[in-house]
Structure 1
Amino acid sequence: MSDNLIERISTALESEYTLEGLVRQLLEMLELVTNMESTYLTRIEPDGSFQHILFARNTRQMQIPEGLSVPWGDTLCKRALDEGKRYTSDVAKVWGDSQAAKALGITTYVSTPVTLADGSLYGTLCAASSEHRILTDRSEQVLQLFAQLIAQQIQNEQLLQQLQQANAALTTASYTDELTGLPNRRAVFEQLPKLFSQARDDARFVLLAFADLDDFKEINDIHGHEAGDDFLCEIGQRLQKGTRPDEIIGRVGGDEFIVAGFGPSNTDEAQHAAQAFKIRLSNLLTGEFQLHSSVINYAGPSIGVVAVNPAETDHDTALREADTAMYVEKAHRRGF
């Protein structure tokens, strides 16, 4: 293998970070090494139904169309693999009944499988010509090397994708309450500053509600902890269904929930909106709860609601004010 080719391969491996970028460079080098006008990479469906031309390089009259999909059973690649004959300079003589070869005008054909580390067949790396071409030992070595490099890149990208998916799943889990599926305390406390910032830019009030589930301990004591968990889940589902898409909801404690959203711009209207906000949440979380093991007629939570101007009050202060309003409401409900 010439020093120039080794240098080009090294440069490609260092500069290309995607499968497409690497393959396109390798196809160009493969054309020069094999002296064939069409070089291409295919992918085979896992169920063996179709073969797809992923990337192709065509420099003269014969064209292997990129994006072409054909039944795997009719391909020269499958015949070559099945028969152990991966190269021929006389396709018409060896596979004269191949309609695809006739349609594309293939006379010389060579392919090698792209096999992943687990032994699965990803696809094939191929070169073809409309003329009779001799495949040298050097060309065959390069073809096999390129197939190995492509397989390694595919595996690297698959591993990266798996890592990204795992990271996304971990991130989602770290921001989600495991029992109810609602955003957890961490998520709420990251979302609130953004809500306040947007409301400040839009010159709007923020409505913030702090809800505490009165008598939740009694539900656990009378009906059992499983019923208590069911009740919390039902509360979470009602909040998800009954709140607006732009409102923040979350479980921030054992039986404590927060709901926040945009209010109007006018001070007087904001106070009316806060009262309406409280009534809406109270109606949402009050009434009959059909649980798996029992039915609970719930009198509703204590809810403290504030309407704050984000230009004057930050989210931490608003939370304290809503918490205080909740305890005032709780005392009132108990007759104190």
Structure 2
Amino acid sequence: MSDNLIERISSALESEYTLEGLVRQLLEMLELVTNMESTYLTRVEPDGSQQHILFSRNSRHMQIPEGLSVPWGDTLCKRALDEGRRYTCDVAGIWGDSEAAKALGITTYVSTPVRLADGSLYGTLCAASSEQRELSERSEQVLQLFAQLIAQQIQNEQLMKKLQQANAALTTSSYTDDLTGLPNRRAVFDQLPQLFTRAKLDARYVLVAFADLDDFKQINDVYGHDAGDEFLCAVGERLKAGVRYDEILGRVGGDEFIVAGAGPTDYADAQDAARAFKTRLASLLTGDYKLHSLTIKYGGPSIGAVAVNPGDVSPDMALRAADEAMYQDKKTRRR
């Protein structure tokens, strides 16, 4: 293998971070090494039904189109793999019944399987020409090397995808309440500053409501913790169904919930909106809860709802104000 080719391979490995970018460079090098008209990478469906041309390079008359899909059982690649024949310059004489070869005008053909670390077949790396071409030992070595490099890149991308999925699942889990499926305290406290920033830019007030489920301990004591957990889940479902798409919702404690959203731009309108906000949530959470084994007639939570100016009040200050308003509501309800 020439120093120039080694240098180009090293450069491609250093500069390309995607499968497509690497393969396109390797196909160009493969064309120069094999002197073939077309070089291409295929993907074989895991069930062996179809073969797809993922990336191809066509420099002369022959055209192997990207996106072409054919039944795997009728391909030169499968025949070559089954027969252990990687190269021929007499396709018509060996596989004369191949309709695909006739349609594409393939006379010389060479391929090698692209196998992953577990031995599974990903696809094939191929080169073809409408004219007879001799394949040197060096060209065959390059073909196999490129197939290994492509397999390694595929595995790297698959690993990266799994890591990203695992990270996304971990992030979702860390921001989700295990029992109710609502956003948890961490999620709410991460979202509130964003809400305040947007409301400040729009010159709008922010509505924050803090709800505490009165008599929840009694529900646990009388009906058991399983019923209590089921009741919390039912509360969560009502909140999810009743809050608006642009409102922040979360369970921030055992029986405590927060709802927040953008309000009007006018002070008086914002105060009216806070009262309406409280009424809406109270109506949403008050009433009969039909659980699996019983029905609970629930008198509703204590709710503190405030309208604050995001230019003057921080999220923490707003939460303290809503919490204080909730305790005032609790005192009033007890009287």
Alpha-carbon separation, structure 2, partners of 1:210 and 1:2: 72
Q: State the match for 2:277 in structure 1.
A: 277
Q: Deviations over 1:14-71 (max 9, x none)?
A: 1111100110111011111111010000001111111000000000001101111111
**What is the deviation of 1:81?**
0.7
SS in structure 2 at match of 1:168: helix
Alpha-carbon separation, structure 2, partners of 1:271 and 1:25: 64
**TM-score, with structure 2 as normaliser:** 0.99
**What is the deviation of 1:314?**
1.5
Matches within 5 A, 1:152-163: 152-163=152-163
**What is the deviation of 1:271?**
1.3
Alpha-carbon separation, structure 1, partners of 2:147 and 2:312: 64
Q: State the match for 2:91 in structure 1.
A: 91
Q: State the match for 1:202 in structure 2.
A: 202
SS in structure 1 at match of 2:250: strand
5+ residue gaps, structure 2? none
Q: State the match for 1:295 in structure 2.
A: 295
Q: State the match for 2:79 in structure 1.
A: 79
Matches within 5 A, 1:178-327: 178-327=178-327
Alpha-carbon separation, structure 2, partners of 1:139 and 1:309: 72
Q: State the match for 2:43 in structure 1.
A: 43
Q: State the match for 1:138 in structure 2.
A: 138
Q: State the match for 1:118 in structure 2.
A: 118
Q: State the match for 2:176 in structure 1.
A: 176
Count of residues in Structure 1 that have an aligned counterpart in Structure 2:
335
Alpha-carbon separation, structure 2, partners of 1:12 and 1:198: 44
Alpha-carbon separation, structure 2, partners of 1:255 and 1:303: 12
Matches within 5 A, 1:60-75: 60-75=60-75
Alpha-carbon separation, structure 1, partners of 2:270 and 2:14: 59
Asked if residue 104 in structure 1 is aligned to residue 65 in structure 2, the reply is no
Alpha-carbon separation, structure 1, partners of 2:293 and 2:118: 48
**What is the deviation of 1:293?**
2.3
Q: State the match for 1:129 in structure 2.
A: 129
Q: State the match for 2:2 in structure 1.
A: 2
| AA partner of residue 84 (structure 2) | G
Q: State the match for 2:26 in structure 1.
A: 26
Alpha-carbon separation, structure 2, partners of 1:270 and 1:115: 64
**What is the deviation of 1:270?**
1.1
Q: Deviations over 1:210-235 (max 9, x none)?
A: 00000101111111111111111111
- Report which stretch shifted further, 150-159 or 82-91: 82-91
**What is the deviation of 1:197?**
1.1
SS in structure 1 at match of 2:289: strand
Asked if residue 334 in structure 1 is aligned to residue 334 in structure 2, the reply is yes
Alpha-carbon separation, structure 2, partners of 1:31 and 1:271: 73
| AA partner of residue 258 (structure 1) | I
Alpha-carbon separation, structure 2, partners of 1:26 and 1:200: 53
Question: Which runs of 4 or more aligned residues in structure 1 lie more than 6 Å from their structure 2 counterparts after TM superposition?
Answer: none
SS in structure 1 at match of 2:296: strand
Alpha-carbon separation, structure 2, partners of 1:32 and 1:131: 15
- Report which stretch shifted further, 310-319 or 163-172: 310-319
**TM-score, with structure 1 as normaliser:** 0.99
Alpha-carbon separation, structure 1, partners of 2:315 and 2:5: 62
SS in structure 2 at match of 1:62: coil
Alpha-carbon separation, structure 1, partners of 2:163 and 2:260: 34
**What is the deviation of 1:87?**
0.9
Q: Deviations over 1:88-107 (max 9, x none)?
A: 10000000000100000000
Alpha-carbon separation, structure 1, partners of 2:268 and 2:33: 79
**What is the deviation of 1:295?**
1.2
Alpha-carbon separation, structure 2, partners of 1:187 and 1:175: 5
Alpha-carbon separation, structure 2, partners of 1:314 and 1:35: 69
Alpha-carbon separation, structure 2, partners of 1:202 and 1:30: 58
Percent identity over the alignment is 78
Alpha-carbon separation, structure 1, partners of 2:119 and 2:242: 51
**What is the deviation of 1:262?**
1.1
